[in-house]
Each structure stands twice: as structure tokens, then as C-alpha cells.
Chains A and B, each alone.
Chain A
Amino acid sequence: MSPVLSVRDLRVAFRTGGGLARVVNGVDFDVEPGETLAIVGESGSGKSVTSLAVLGLLPQAVTEVHGSAVFDGDELIGRSEEHLRRVRGAGIGMVFQDPMTSLNPVLTVGRQIAEALQAHEKASDRAVRTRAAELLGEVGIPDPQGRLRAYPHQLSGGMRQRVMIAIALAGNPQVLIADEATTALDVTVQAQILELIERLQGEHGMAVVWITHDLGVVAGIADHVIVMYAGRCVEEAAVDDLYSRPSHPYTRGLLSSLPLLDDPRSARERDPLTTMPGLPPDPVALPEGCAFYPRCAYRLDDRCKTEVPPLAPVAAAAENHRAATFYRIDAADEPEGQR
């Protein structure tokens, strides 16, 4: 099957007062129809910017985007605003992090769903209202007809996020991008939203791209995972492979900082990192070599400092599990720095 969304060598930079901030530095990934891809990384890793760049939602005046993003056989990068507008909502739907600020506080929920419906097809007001109520029902909101007249502040956080999902579903997208969609919610509500999206994914046959900083969320839902650091993909794998054999020091750091792991025999015991010291590099002044070098407990001095490690298979037998590091778990179980 051919991928529904295919991103190649995507690069995004913002022109700032301090210089060019290189936020995404050559990202590749494919989203197969109906699958769930998780993009994981800390804030500032470029994961959200990647998705916004694909849909042309970054401020044009200060943004430089290069590379390719092909959706349904159609290149998106560098296309006209009108072309992208047709894809937004109808081809690719998005759910954002904070449902409070992502909904317009002065318009009713019904109106905001109606806008999404009317953006792509003409329909009578009555038909739009009926469809909007159906969508609210579909995302599990009780009394959908009555809630159409509600304002966002009259709903709970979980309900608001359901409204956001209803908006994203309105255009019947082939791909749903959920950008930290559960981050602002309570743990129990998080689980409900995850479940809801999984159910809708099955019903609508959508592909879902989960963007999150939380590897714990990813474990239960994703088919594939890519881990981003400083605007690059540092590891990609099927979800089971990633958890059983995290191969990039950064991935291992992320996993070890999780409070609970489903699978205790994974990286945890043998990984000396419990927290990762330091901060991601300044995108205006990226280091010459590996961007993770300053924080890496496994670094090899000369090479890591001067050469960017390419994304390469972690072992001959695992062609689809790739990591961008010179360090190989099989070669040495102890971190370099401690030898």
C-alpha cells in the first residue's frame, strides 16, 4: 500500500531577531492509510512545527520551509494558500493541545463545527445543524442538540477536546493529526480521549499522527514511532521494537524518565540515566556534530562532536528499526562516559 502522507527531508527555519532558528532539520516519515504514527519528543524538538509546516499553518512572513510533503499523491510544500485550504480539514484534520484556547471563546460550539462543515461544501443551514449535532453525538457528547448553543467555557476540558475532535472529523479527513491532544487533560479524561480517537479511527478508516512528548501515551496506541530531537528524527521503529530495544541514548533517556512502564524488563534496569541533564540546543546555534552530544552519556568524543550520525538500522536483522547514533547497544552496554 502506498503511504497517504509522505514527508521527505522537511526543513523549517524561522527568521528571528537573533538569527535563523533551524527548528526542523530534515525529517522523513510515511503515514500508511489507517495506521497510527507517533511523533515523540520534548517541547522544542520540532514535532509540532513539522505538522504545522505540512499544512502551511506557520506564519509565512518569518518562516522558511523546504523539502517535500506529499498527501494523497499531491505535493503540499510551496503550494498556494487556496490549494492548502482545500486539504486542511478535508484531507488532513488537526486536533490541538489546549482545547480552551484552541476554540474561539466568543462563538458557540455549534457555530464552530458548522464552519468546519461549510468550509468544504455548501449545505443548507438546517443540514449543517443536523450534521453538527451528529458529530457531537459521535464524539460522545450527551444532549448534542442542546450543546450546539453552548460556549466553550461552559464545557469541561474533556468535553471541549471532544468538540475539537468533532471539528476535525467534520471534513472527513484521511489523516488526523493530534498535536499533544491529551496533554492538558486529567489522566482519566486522557484515557477516554485516547479511546475515542482509536474508535473513530476504526470507524472512519483514518490514519492518525499522534504528536506527544509522552512515551507512556504512545505505548498503547501507536503502530510506529519516530523520536525527534532538535528537529531531526533520531530513532524510528515499530512500537514494540522501540520499547524493547530503545537504541538512541535520547530514547532511552525518555523511557527511563517514565514513572511506570508496562514492560519492566525493558531498558530500565540497565540504563544509568534516570533523568537527562541539560536542555535541547538553541536552534539558532546548533552544534556542528550530533545535537544530543552535550547531554549524551554514551558519546564518543571526536566523532560525535564533529559528525552528524545518520539514521541507520540498529542491526542487520532489523531493517525498519533505525537510530541516528554512533553508539550501538550491542557493542557496549556501559556508557562511554563512565569507562
Chain B
Amino acid sequence: MSIEESAETPPVTRQHRPRWLETLTLLARNPLAIAAVVVLAGLVFAALLAESIVPRDDIFTPDIANRLQAPSGEHWFGTDELGRDVFARVLAGAEVSLRVGAVAVGISLTAGVVVGLLAGYFGRWVDDTLMRVMDVLFAFPALLMAIAVLAILGAGSTNAMIAIGIVYTPIFARITRASVLSVREEVYVRAARSAGAGNVRIIVRHVLPNVTAPIIVQTSISLAFAILSEAALSFVGLGTQPPDPSWGRMLSEGRGFIEQAWWMAVFPGAAIFVTVLAFNVLGDALRDVLDPRQRSAMKGVGA
């Protein structure tokens, strides 16, 4: 019977591998995901080490004699209207973008997940109240909402983090709530409840682990949007303030010199584009791997 048995049963992958390892293995099969991770790793590296790679002078100190120089061997991305090296500033700008993006998403993530968990788990009036508040926030155009918040708090990169964080909170709340609703009535949650486990324990031990996948996906996508928003806010002068290098700010400065010095606008914009693209691609790849419905849909195409 042995040979026939093996012909019948499909090859079984080992069941004991942890889920995150499985996820990474699947992710590593996607060349786009690998490219995105490489780009992002490079950016983090640049953000952490910018000031040790390029001299601080290149980033901050004006050098009027060398202003508006076209890209060359000495200045790869040219120089700006104050003679500062655009390459050095783009590199240093990675730090601002990633920090603002990460903190903003951290705020949305924390607030949104807490709201979503409470709403989804307790239901009834808690759900109604919290989610209507989220609907209200959601009804405002994201960027204008951030601009309005900055109008109240005042411009600056810290306030930009808060503004962006508020704007993207409803998305996390909605996703978390939807996932909680789908696991709330699962047998294991009911079993835990009937065994006398407290709400906090059930949420932490049983509900939270089951809602992580969509949240991870959303985190990656939100990072893309948060970085884009920070750049947009800085572009209109409400985000990061000079002389700190910020891609959005550099782009808006470059706009004034678009006829004479295209490089001032092209390179910071390209940096934003590549970073946002990397987070979006990673988010998509994560979704393919983590969201089983999506995954089976993709397999269905092949069959």
C-alpha cells in the first residue's frame, strides 16, 4: 500500500515551522519583495549613518561659490541654491522621512488597534460610539485634515507626526475591528470565555494574535502613505522646517529653480518615489503571503 499511498497524498509541508518563518520563506520567493526589502534596508542604513558617510558641512553649511552646480563627479546630484550638496541632503533626508513616517504610523497603529479591539470585542454601544467617531475622522480628506491639525498645533515635524498619526488612525481601527469580529465567535475564543478567562486575557492571548496579519500589511502600506504625507506637508511648508533636510522641503525649494537647476527637484522627488514604492511593493507582497483569501485567489488564476 505504501507506494500508492504516497501517490495519493499530496506532499505535506512540515507543520511545525513557526508561522513567521513560513511567511518569510514565501516572501523570499517574490523577487519584487526582495528588491523592496533591499531598498528599504539601504534607506535605513542611510538614515542611521548619513552624518558619518557625508560630512555635516555638506548637509548644512552654505557654500555660495558652488551654488546651483549641475551633477558631476564631485556633486553626484548637483548642488542647491545655497551650494549645499544635494546628494548629501537627500541621504540625510532619509532619516527625517523614515522617522516621521515611523512615529506617525506608530501613533495610528496604537490608537487604531486599541479602538478597533475595543469596538470589535465589546460591540454594542462601545462599537457604535467608537466607530462613528472613526467615520467622522474618515470623512475628512486626509491631507486637508493633516493641514487643519497643523493649523491648530503649528508647523513642524513633530506636529506633522501627530497630524499624520491622527489621519491614519481610522484605517487601523476599521481593519482591526473587522478582524476581531471574525474571530470573536470562533470556538477557541468562546471556549476561553466559558473557561472563565478575563476580557484582557482573551484579547491579548486569543484575539490579538489572530488580527496581526492584516495589521502588518496595513502598516507597510501606511508607512508609504505617511512618508508621502510628510513630504507633502513639508512641500507646502507645514512639515519639517529649514535648515533640516527633508525631501518634501527640498522639492519645494527646487521648484523655484526648476528652469536653472532641474536636479534640485528631480532627485528628492525620486527619493520619495522610490521609498514609497518600496513600502507599497512590500505591503502587496505581504498581503499575498499573509492573507489566505488573496493567496487562494492568486492560485485560482493558475488552475
A, B: real partners: yes
CB-based A-B contact count at 8 angstroms: 26
Question: What residues of chain A lie closer than 8 Å to B8, measured between beta carbons?
Answer: 278-279, 281-282, 294
Chain A nearest Cβ from B13, distance in angstroms: 13
- Cα–Cα distance between A9 and B109 once the two chains are bound (Å): 60
Tell whether A294 pairs with B4 under 8 Å between CB atoms, given A17-B299, A17-B302, A62-B303.
Answer: yes
Is B136's CB within 8 Å of the partner chain A?
no
A285 in the interface (beta carbon within 8 A): yes
Q: Which residues of chain A come closer than 8 Å to B303, judged between CB atoms?
A: 14, 16, 62
B259 within 8 A of A: no
Q: In whole angstroms, how far apart are the Cα atoms of A220 and B225 in the complex?
A: 65
Which residues of B are found within 8 Å of A326, using beta-carbon distances? none
The number of chain B residues with a CB under 8 A from chain A is 9
Residues on B lying within 8 angstroms of A by beta carbon are 1, 4-5, 7-8, 10, 299, 302-303
Interchain nearest-CB distance for A97 vs B (Å): 18
On whether the beta carbons of B299 and A294 are closer than 8 Å, the reply is no
Nearest-neighbor residue (CB-CB) of A17 within chain B: B302
Task: Give every chain B residue within 8 A of A278 (Cβ-Cβ).
Answer: 8
Q: Which residue of B lies closest to A294 (CB)?
A: B4
Residues of A within 8 A of B1 (CB): 294
Q: List 16 A-B contacts (CB under 8 A).
A: A14-B303, A16-B303, A17-B299, A17-B302, A62-B302, A278-B8, A279-B8, A282-B7, A282-B8, A282-B10, A285-B7, A287-B4, A293-B4, A294-B4, A294-B7, A305-B4
In the complex, chain A residues whose CB is within 8 Å of the CB of B7: 281-282, 285-287, 294
Nearest CB of A to B2, in Å: 11
B5 to chain A: which residues have CB within 8 Å? 294
Q: How far in angstroms is the closest Cβ of chain A from B302?
A: 6
For residue A285, which residue of chain B has the nearest CB? Answer: B7
Contacts of A281 in B (CB 8 A): 7-8
Set of chain B residues within 8 Å of A285, measured between Cβ atoms:
7
Residues of A within 8 Å of B4, CB to CB, are 287, 293-294, 305
What's the minimum C-beta distance from B289 to chain A, rounded to whole angstroms?
16
A16: chain B residues at CB < 8 Å are 302-303
Known: A14-B303, A282-B7, A293-B4. 20 other contacts (CB 8 A): A16-B303, A17-B299, A17-B302, A62-B302, A62-B303, A278-B8, A279-B8, A281-B7, A281-B8, A282-B8, A282-B10, A285-B7, A287-B4, A287-B7, A294-B1, A294-B4, A294-B5, A294-B7, A294-B8, A305-B4
Tell me the complex Cα distance, A279–B1, Å: 14
Closest Cβ–Cβ distance, residue A68 to chain B (whole Å): 26
**Min CB gap A279→B, angstroms:** 6
In Å, the complex CA distance between A18 and B10 comes to: 10
> A286 to B3, alpha carbons, bound, how many Å?
12
Rounded to whole Å, the gap between the CB of A332 and the closest CB of chain B is 21
A281 to B5 alpha-carbon distance, docked (Å): 9
A189 vs B4: C-alpha distance when bound (angstroms): 41
Within 8 Å CB of B299, what residues of A?
A: 17
A17 to B7, CA, bound (A): 17
- Bitwise, A239-273 to B at CB < 8 A (1) or not (0) is 00000000000000000000000000000000000
Distance, CA A18 to CA B302, complexed state (A):
11
Query: What string of 1s and 0s marks CB contacts (under 8 Å) between A118-149 and chain B?
Result: 00000000000000000000000000000000
Complex Cα gap A264–B302 (Å): 47
